[in-house]
Amino acid sequence: MYRPQNSLEKSKELRPFFLLKFIIYSKIESMKTVIFAAGRGRRFGDLTKDTPKILLPVLGKPFLYYYLELLKKGGLDDFLVITGHMSKKIEEWLKDYDPRIKIVDQFERIGTEKYGSACPLMAAELELKDEQFIALYGDNLFDVNDIKSIANDDNYCYVSGYRLSTYEPEKYGELVTDGELLKEIIEKPKEKTGDLINIGLYKFTPDIFRAIAQIGKSERGEYELVEAVNLLAKESKVRVRKAKGFWVDFGTPGDKNALEKFLKEKGYGEN
């Protein structure tokens, strides 16, 4: 028989929901968010000759503006930006945007000879070696709900995968899984073997620095983060979460139209 709830009963029923929401926000707010912004943006050609890729204009504002605004709206507020190429320009812009944001210059810390996706964390080990943190590639926009899904305070590292039925395999890394555990990331394979790709969204424990210390230059002559992640995967220390929200790549000039369309749908660029 239906019996309407009084206000006290309703409040009791809602308590677990609000408690869960508080716990999720507490976890994500307690973790530092590390943004990789040291790259030279070679695929952008002359567009990045005088401007860092992360500051390229989109709808009248630097790409980094939208990047940070979307993260802040989702509850993230403790940022560490790893700069390198044209570091001073990024630092100047960040100081005007939000002087609380911490910055590490990769080139000052480890020089310019080392290159690759593991280098930002090599440079920032001093700041991060004793804590768990979120790590994001600086040329992608991520749904904060997908970031929350990996912001778990446990002993696992996490990598987020995006399911694509069609894509050019040489542009991405493919995630090979065993249940929710990562078996391996196959970086830029010649042929497509799966449909779950690496989008550059991670949560790391301090174990990542032990793994990075064990890697050398890859066949491409780079220090690649996926090689360190693969070492931890062999120890069953990396879990996979499938991204369910938006993911917008700004890796090439051809991505700009799709990026602008997405931002307009989010209400940006209308004024």
pLDDT tens column, 123-158 = 999 999 999 999 999 999 999 999 999 999 999 999
Domains in the chain: boundaries: 7-157+198-265
- Pairing mode, strands 238-242 and 157-163: parallel
User: In the numeric block, which tokens belong to residue 35?
Assistant: 């943004």
The yes-or-no verdict on residue 208 having pLDDT over 80 is yes
* CATH T-level topology, domain 7-157+198-265: Spore Coat Polysaccharide Biosynthesis Protein SpsA; Chain A (3.90.550)
Residue type at position 15 = R
The yes-or-no verdict on residue 29 having pLDDT over 50 is yes
Q: What is the mean pLDDT of residues 215-242?
A: 96
The yes-or-no verdict on residue 11 having pLDDT over 80 is no
194: Cβ contacts below 8 Å, ≥ 6 apart = 174, 175, 176
Q: What is the mean pLDDT of residues 18-33?
A: 60
pLDDT tens column, 154-194 = 999 999 999 988 887 778 899 999 999 999 999 988 888 88
In b/e form, how buried is each residue of 12-41, taking b as 16+ CB within 10 angstroms?
Answer: eeeeeeeeeeeebeeebeebbbbbbbbbeb
pLDDT-based confidence at residue 91 (cuts at 50, 70, 90): very high
